């Protein structure tokens, strides 16, 4: 296994290409449980009708955990949007269609989105006053949301979509996959556009998602503070500050 061609560098992990394989190598202090859970998620999603890189093995490389999958040749949707701004609407249309196709799948053995969010809200580390004011509101809102069993990615972003030269699209990085409410997944994607500084993209995405899925915009917006709270426990300090801004907007409309 050769690790001399880096194709991506992410927080706590580096992805290499070795011929037809992609090797994702995690930092030495990365949780073994999280690595194994990501591999298990990917294996389970492979059983759906989606295009997903096939998992080959989980191993250690130089004392570090690694996940070995198919290498998918092509460009990310994020890169294509950047290189072809005149085709951005076309790519956004494809992006939303892929997400809706994913939400049409079921994957019964995945963890439940609501359970994960409840845990994450308790881990936000907010000060006592803020916790007192918001925790009960967020937990109550979460419990009041309908229970769905749709396949949710949890990090559905143009950077995680590879478009091959033949036009086939593949969805990468299933580490946050759960089964739950599609509108929560959409709220997460909306926040990802904001985090990237693409406000116009966020609004364009949300408009298109709601139109294609026949979902009220206000319903997706009700998920935003919940999703922001659950995501604020990780990431860089500036991302945490941004997400906590959305957490405080519990009556966002």
Give residue 245's pLDDT.
72
Residue 220 · residue 190 · CB < 8 Å? yes
Percent of the chain having pLDDT more than 90? 72
The angle formed by the CA atoms of residues 196, 190 and 223, to the nearest 5 degrees, is 135
Structure tokens at 231: 């995501």
Phi and psi at 22, nearest 5°, equal -115, 125
- The pLDDT of residue 253 is above 50: no
Give residue 235's pLDDT.
58
State how far the Cα of 175 lies from the Cα of 52, in Å rounded to an integer.
13
| Beta strands across the sheet bearing 75-76 | 75-76, 161-163, 169-171
Closest residue by Cα to residue 151 from 78, 49, 226: 49
* Interval 116-174: pLDDT, tens: 988 887 776 665 555 555 666 777 778 888 789 999 999 999 999 999 999 999 999 99
Structure tokens at 96: 């939303």
- The pLDDT of residue 1 is above 90: no
Q: Which residue has the higher pLDDT, 154 or 241?
A: 154
The tally of CA atoms less than 13 A away on the side-chain side of residue 173 is 16
């Amino acid at each position: 296994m050769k690790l001399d061609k880096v194709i991506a560098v992410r927080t706590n992990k580096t992805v290499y290409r070795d011929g037809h394989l992609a090797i994702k190598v995690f930092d030495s202090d990365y949780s073994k449980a999280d690595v194994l859970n990501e591999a298990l998620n990917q294996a389970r999603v492979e059983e759906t009708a989606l295009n997903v890189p096939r998992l080959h093995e989980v191993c250690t490389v130089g004392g570090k955990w690694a996940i070995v999958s198919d290498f998918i040749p092509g460009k990310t949707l994020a890169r294509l949007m950047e290189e072809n701004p005149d085709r951005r609407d076309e790519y956004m249309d494809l992006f939303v269609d892929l997400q809706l196709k994913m939400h049409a799948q079921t994957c019964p053995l995945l963890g439940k989105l609501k359970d994960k969010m409840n845990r994450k809200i308790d881990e936000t580390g907010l000060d006592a006053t803020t916790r007192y004011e918001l925790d009960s509101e967020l937990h109550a809102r979460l419990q009041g949301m309908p229970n769905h069993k749709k396949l949710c990615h949890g990090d559905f972003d143009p950077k995680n979509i590879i478009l091959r030269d033949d036009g086939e699209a593949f969805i990468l990085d299933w580490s946050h996959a759960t089964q739950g409410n599609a509108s929560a997944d959409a709220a997460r994607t909306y926040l990802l556009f904001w985090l990237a500084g693409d406000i116009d993209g966020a609004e364009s995405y949300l408009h298109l998602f709601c139109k294609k899925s026949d979902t009220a915009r206000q319903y997706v917006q009700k998920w935003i503070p919940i999703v922001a709270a659950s995501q604020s426990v990780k990431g860089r300090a500036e991302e945490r500050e941004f997400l906590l801004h959305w957490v405080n907007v519990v009556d966002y409309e």
